[in-house]
Amino acid sequence: MPPAFDFDLFTIGGGSGGVRASRVSASLGARVAVAESGRFGGTCVNVGCIPKKLFSYAAHVRSELEDAADFGWDIAEPRFDWARLLANKDREITRLNGVYERVLVDAGVEIIRGRATVLGPHTVSLDGKTFTARHILVATGSWPQKPAMPGAELAITSNEAFHLGRLPRSALVVGGGYIAVEFASIFHGLGVKTTLAYRGPRLLRGFDDELGARLGEEMARKGVAIDLNCTPVGLSRLQDLIEVKFNGQRASTFDLVMFATGRKPNTASLGLEAAGVKLSADGAVVVDAFSKSSVDSIHAIGDVTNRLNLTPVATSEGMALAKTLFGGVPTPVDHDNVPTAVFAHPNLATVGLSEQKARARFGRVDVYKTAFRALKHTLGASEEKIFVKLVVDGASQRVVGAHMIGPDAGEIIQGVAIAVKLGATKAQFDATIGIHPTAAEEFVTLREKAA
């Protein structure tokens, strides 16, 4: 007797989450297909985490060269080659595209090229063909959005920033989130005269308030022009420049304008609503703790659900879904105490609750923090400050938040995140001997509560 469905799982989208869910499901014995119309790896590999971090490395070289003289090195006038960076980046991305595709093939997943749409609870369509599946997984990610204003088409988004034909002389980055501060830092580090404009009073809304304020100060100290409470209202072409009009009638010209003003889930024209799938106001697929939509056989993971839009979260959601559907172990997704990093200059990383959220949840909170110049900068004139902060539940003395601004903050917080996830107390942090001299040791040597 032929199987009731063509596949046990049909995944729409070959990004990190979709690939993980498909590969693991196949390893558990499911018959799996993945439909992808573009390159495998999704946003992260192609126009997100990986190329962004490579650009960030390139931009950091400038400060390393500036510091070199303090340590006795005489280095000739450096020259930066944007075209070479792009070519090297593209080569690495192509390699990763192949890796993602190969792991699917090796797992026995059938790859179908094209854009799939949902016809019903168990049916998808692709290039005039229909396929049936016991379960359908939507893993189509998100897409950057531009605000509605005259001339918005003159600006780019993060997608285009990875493929610029030439490096601009001046750039305006609009936004105050992690993508905005990262690209403002990248452009500035590569020698572009950079302005960051944000409509709010402080960068990084949603992070600990102090992090956004301090990061803005550090970026400004490095030379990025930070314009807060500033909103562009229109763009127009002025010869070979873009003129930007701001609220308050002020206008300035830039070689390039980039909007980093949010992303929207990729659900348009997928047929989800017609199939009975509930979407939120922003188009995200509404799912339960097991990534199941309002239709029992249709599931969604990653940015398309707009829960916690981070690549490791999407892959964890994919793993949990595979276990739930085909491993016999219903596995909810754990979104608590997820660490994250912002690869601005300087880096920023965090895990757990902000001071503001901790006070709202626990009432009494103990805060420990410090700011200091790194040992590396004591031989020179740099005034950059490392910032470290611990947030502690006053009743249980558990460390419920750890935050840092400074070099390699992401590398450091990843280790601290284990302790926070396990519910370590401030006393256990204090009992841990630090590695000296490092910035990381500050997390275990903080003793004085902040006023």
Nearest to 353 by CA among 401, 421, 403: 401
For residues 232 and 259, the answer to whether their CB atoms sit within 8 Å is no
For residues 63 and 140, the answer to whether their CB atoms sit within 8 Å is no
**By CB neighbour count within 10 A (0-12 exposed, 13-18 middle, 19+ buried), where does 54 fall?**
middle
**By CB neighbour count within 10 A (0-12 exposed, 13-18 middle, 19+ buried), where does 53 fall?**
middle
CA distance 134 to 108: 17
CA distance 355 to 177: 19
Q: Where are the alpha helices (DSSP H) in 127-204?
A: 158-161, 178-189
CA distance 191 to 409: 23
Length of the chain: 451
CA distance 26 to 111: 12
DSSP 8-state assignment for residue 284: P
Nearest to 359 by CA among 429, 430, 450, 423: 450
Look up residue 42 and give its amino acid: G
> What six digits make up the tokens of 66?
């500036």
Our answer to whether residue 60 is catalytic in this structure is no
CA distance 177 to 342: 9
Please give the positions annotated as active site.
Answer: 436
